[in-house]
């Protein structure tokens, strides 16, 4: 009976999500017809009404609205979001953030006693595949319509391919083997099996390669709130790094580095007009803070949810401007407790506009990707040059590392202090380099080697047994 009840609830939920394949309607987050520009759609709140697919894909404005809804949902929920996403929750799962809140699901992540019924993990899984379905619907729709011109078709399809690759990349880093969904067929999608990570990586690279060929470069004067060719290249270089294709990681990162400039003022890196931003998510109706600022800045003690760990603070070298500029501290009213917090975002806004957007990809990561790739390619001067670009901006002298092992340690050190409290980078670095146990066993009493993957949500396994077996340890 329990099995049937769960199946019925899931079926009803998926009926809404996948109704396009049943009654030829697009997903719930498509769309409003209008003549507003693409940037205005990104700024708008999500449309609520449904339209028949043939009508939607006859008009560029409605496709832009559908894509805007995808970015809206990325910002407001799921793994990408600052409220529920990787920045905070993988921060507490690793050694970046301490957790002081009362949410049971977050506490499981912080204490490394995660169960397969954790509703945060279910939300991540469901949100990601909903966005993937929406992206697939756009891909199919623009391919089949005869009303859009070639330029519009290419940019819409390129953005949707990027979204599909991006969300699968996040799913894989969290859950390991996952399905790679490329269709809008309801029955097929509800019975898919998990694919080995090697195949998932291949699919991601294929989608990103196609996206790069379809999208244009980031505008030097735009807000960079829509995925461009640069965003696709940024993710592609990261994926090449993860699969240890050093040559392609180096050349892809180089292409981006040659097109963009690393900002010299460390205090301006996270402003919305930063020269090194490759893709960012615009907050809702302006003026509005980023979720990252709202979640991470401590305003009052007690009352805080997150604080930087002592181990992260101790990782900064003396004189590192990132520690003074990108961290802050708050003291309780009685003066007995002082806690450090991430202060990359300052909660900057005026009465009329937001001054900070949530950055997903920025150029500094590309320098560190290239430094790591060059280290493995035995290009010592090149790796040193990239590390020095990051270090010098932070007020630090050139690196002294000059061997492969020392350079690799230097790269990981710079990644830790440059990319902290951003999109779960620290956790993914610990995982991919095999260092998770080395660092976390000392600070997480419940640490187990199987924790490099999180469990597939129980509700998903009950509905689709083809997702079995569960990840080891759960």
Shared domain for 274 and 186, answered yes or no, is no
Q: Is residue 444 part of a domain?
A: no
Q: Is residue 201 part of a domain?
A: yes
Shared domain for 85 and 174, answered yes or no, is yes
Q: Is residue 38 part of a domain?
A: yes
> Could you count the other beta carbons within 10 Å of the beta carbon of residue 57?
28
Q: Is residue 449 part of a domain?
A: no
Shared domain for 280 and 164, answered yes or no, is no
Q: Is residue 247 part of a domain?
A: no
Shared domain for 41 and 133, answered yes or no, is yes
Q: Is residue 239 part of a domain?
A: no
Of the residues 215, 235, 250, which one is the last residue of a structural domain?
215
Q: Is residue 246 part of a domain?
A: no
Sign, CA torsion 78/111/434/192: negative
Shared domain for 349 and 430, answered yes or no, is yes
Structure tokens, 359 = 């950055």
Shared domain for 294 and 416, answered yes or no, is yes
Domains in the chain: how many in total? 2
DSSP labels, 348-370: -B-SS-BS--EEEEEHHHHHHHH
Q: Is residue 223 part of a domain?
A: no
CATH code, 183: 1.25.40.890
Shared domain for 131 and 268, answered yes or no, is no
Shared domain for 275 and 169, answered yes or no, is no
* Residue in 319, 299, 315 with CA at minimum distance from that of residue 307: 299
Residue 50: per-residue pLDDT: 37
Of the residues 405, 422, 437, which one is the last residue of a structural domain?
437
Residue 1: per-residue pLDDT: 46
Residue 41: per-residue pLDDT: 32
- pLDDT tens per residue across all 474 residues of the chain: 444 444 444 444 443 343 333 333 334 343 333 333 333 333 334 333 334 456 678 899 999 999 999 999 999 999 998 788 999 999 999 999 999 999 999 999 999 999 999 999 999 999 999 999 999 999 999 999 889 999 999 999 999 999 999 999 999 999 999 999 999 998 898 899 999 999 999 999 999 999 999 999 876 568 999 999 999 999 999 999 999 999 999 999 999 999 999 999 999 999 999 999 999 999 877 678 899 999 999 999 999 999 999 999 999 999 999 999 999 999 999 999 999 999 999 987 777 889 999 999 999 999 999 999 999 999 999 999 999 999 999 999 999 999 999 999 999 999 999 999 999 999 999 999 999 999 999 999 999 999 999 999 999 999 999 999 999 999
Shared domain for 179 and 83, answered yes or no, is yes
CATH code, 307: 1.25.40.390
Shared domain for 351 and 417, answered yes or no, is yes
Burial (CB < 10 A; 0-12, 13-18, 19+), residue 140, is: buried
CA 11 – CA 5 distance, rounded (Å): 10
Tell me the whole-structure pTM to 2 decimals: 0.89
The range of the structural domain enclosing residue 208 comes to 16-94+116-215
Structure tokens, 243 = 């699969």
Residue 5: which H helix or E strand, with range? Answer: helix 2-17
Shared domain for 208 and 283, answered yes or no, is no
* Residue in 115, 112, 102 with CA at minimum distance from that of residue 445: 112
Shared domain for 32 and 151, answered yes or no, is yes
């Amino acid at each position: 009976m329990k099995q049937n009840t769960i199946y019925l609830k899931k079926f009803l939920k998926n009926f809404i999500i996948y109704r396009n394949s049943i009654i030829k309607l697009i997903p719930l987050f498509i769309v409003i017809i209008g003549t507003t520009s693409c940037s205005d759609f990104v700024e708008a709140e999500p449309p609520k009404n449904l339209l028949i697919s043939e009508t939607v894909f006859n008009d560029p404005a409605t496709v832009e609205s559908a894509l805007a809804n995808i970015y809206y949902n990325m910002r407001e929920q799921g793994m990408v979001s600052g409220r529920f996403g990787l920045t905070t929750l993988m921060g507490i799962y690793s050694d970046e953030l301490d957790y002081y809140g009362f949410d049971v699901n977050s506490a499981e992540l912080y204490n490394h006693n995660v169960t397969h019924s954790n509703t945060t993990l279910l939300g991540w899984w469901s949100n990601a595949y909903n966005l993937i379905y929406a992206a697939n619907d756009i891909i199919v729709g623009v391919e089949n319509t005869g009303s859009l011109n070639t330029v519009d078709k290419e940019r819409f399809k390129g953005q949707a391919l990027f979204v599909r690759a991006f969300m699968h990349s996040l799913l894989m880093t969290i859950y390991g083997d996952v399905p790679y969904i490329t269709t809008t067929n309801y029955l097929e999608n509800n019975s898919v099996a998990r694919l080995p990570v090697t195949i998932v990586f291949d699919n991601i690279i294929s989608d990103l390669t196609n996206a790069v060929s379809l999208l244009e470069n980031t505008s030097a004067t735009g807000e960079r709130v829509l995925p461009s060719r640069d965003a696709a290249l940024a993710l592609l270089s990261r994926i090449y790094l993860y699969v240890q294709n050093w040559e392609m990681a180096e050349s892809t990162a180089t292409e981006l580095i040659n097109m963009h400039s690393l900002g010299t003022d460390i205090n301006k890196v996270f402003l919305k007009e930063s020269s090194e931003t490759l893709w960012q998510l615009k907050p809702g109706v302006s003026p509005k803070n980023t979720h990252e600022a709202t979640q991470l800045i401590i305003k009052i003690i007690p009352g805080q949810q997150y604080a930087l760990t002592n181990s992260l603070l101790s990782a900064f070298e003396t004189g590192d401007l990132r520690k003074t500029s990108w961290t802050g501290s708050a003291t309780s009213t009685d003066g007995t407790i002082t806690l450090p917090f991430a202060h990359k975002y300052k909660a900057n806004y005026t009465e009329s506009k937001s001054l900070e957007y949530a950055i997903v990809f920025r150029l500094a990561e590309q320098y560190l990707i290239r430094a790591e790739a060059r280290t493995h390619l035995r290009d010592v001067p090149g790796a040193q040059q990239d590390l020095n670009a990051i270090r010098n901006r932070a007020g630090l002298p050139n690196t002294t590392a000059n061997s492969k092992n020392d350079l690799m340690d230097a790269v990981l050190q710079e990644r830790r202090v440059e990319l902290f409290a951003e999109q779960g980078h620290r956790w993914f670095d610990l995982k991919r380099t095999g260092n998770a146990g080395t660092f976390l066993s000392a600070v997480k009493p419940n640490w187990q080697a199987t924790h490099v993957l999180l469990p597939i949500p129980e509700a998903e396994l009950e509905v689709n047994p083809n997702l079995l077996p569960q990840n080891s340890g759960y």
